[in-house]
A and B are shown apart, each in its own frame.
Chain A
Amino acid sequence: DQQVKQNSPSLSVQEGRISILNCDYTNSMFDYFLWYKKYPAEGPTFLISISSIKDKNEDGRFTVFLNKSAKHLSLHIVPSQPGDSAVYFCAAPHRTDKLIFGTGTRLQVFP
């Protein structure tokens, strides 16, 4: 049972444009969500998070939107840069500490 789903395995975006990465979840008990970024041969690194009491959280070029009624969140990167090319994981904590990860979306930003 995949509680956190990322249905797009890959995304290709031109430099300077907006990248939108999507994530859906099935467990209505989730109340906190995180995005992690992973470069090849490195571990995932925390990027941005959002609590369920908010519908938007912004940090520089990164914004996460949460639609609780649709059980959907998205990560917007604008403007996209070549250094943003990585795999992005959506995650939610289960019972406060165990992270449930999605399958990831590979973002490629080309010049």
Chain B
Amino acid sequence: EAGVVQSPRYKIIEKKQPVAFWCNPISGHNTLYWYLQNLGQGPELLIRYENEEAVDDSQLPKDRFSAERLKGVDSTLKIQPAELGDSAVYLCASSLDGPVSYNEQFFGPGTRLTVL
């Protein structure tokens, strides 16, 4: 069974440019997460989806970040415009419904973004 798929794996852009990341979760996983991981830090949740509904986006910087999960499967995370401080790894994870104590979160390999 395929795991969580993310693309691209690496992205280098100049500041003020837009960028988008794509995630395909594990089949049957209704819950999808986007995490941000800065260098030397642990992942931090940006947004969580239950099917196509964003149920926790409190940590998403809404002035420049947006996300969508139109059909409750694939998801796209966008930054426009990108800033130097956005350089980080963007991780996507998915799980079955319910609390994490019962349903493991499976992570994709991440997209490493470098903003020049």
Spell out A's residues near B (CB within 8 Å): 4, 9, 32, 34, 41-46, 49, 51, 89, 91, 93, 96-99, 101-104
> Is B107 located at the chain interface by the 8 A CB criterion?
yes
State whether A89 and B42 are in contact (beta carbons under 8 Å apart), knowing that A32-B101, A43-B93, A97-B100 are contacts in the complex: yes
Rounded to whole Å, the gap between the CB of B51 and the closest CB of chain A is 14
Spell out B's residues near A (CB within 8 Å): 4, 9, 31, 40-45, 48, 56, 91, 93, 99-101, 104-110
State whether A9 and B40 are in contact (beta carbons under 8 Å apart), knowing that A43-B91, A43-B110, A98-B45 are contacts in the complex: yes
Q: Which residues on the A side are within 8 Å of B106 (C-beta)?
A: 43, 45-46
What is the bound-complex CA distance between A22 and B88, given in angstroms? 25
Is B107 in contact with A97, judged by CB distance below 8 angstroms? no
**Could you name 22 residue pairs across A and B whose Cβ atoms are closer than 8 Å?**
A32-B100, A41-B110, A42-B110, A43-B93, A43-B107, A43-B108, A45-B106, A45-B107, A46-B105, A51-B101, A89-B43, A96-B101, A97-B31, A97-B48, A98-B45, A98-B56, A99-B43, A99-B45, A99-B105, A101-B42, A102-B42, A104-B41
List the B residue with the shortest CB-CB distance to A51.
Answer: B101
Q: Which residues on the B side are within 8 Å of A97 (C-beta)?
A: 31, 48, 56, 99-100
Q: Which residues on the A side are within 8 Å of B9 (C-beta)?
A: 41
What is the bound-complex CA distance between A43 and B107, given in angstroms? 5
Q: Which residues on the A side are within 8 Å of B100 (C-beta)?
A: 32, 34, 93, 96-97, 99
Rounded to whole Å, the gap between the CB of A57 and the closest CB of chain B is 13
Is B4 in contact with A43, judged by CB distance below 8 angstroms? yes
Is A103 in contact with B43, judged by CB distance below 8 angstroms? no
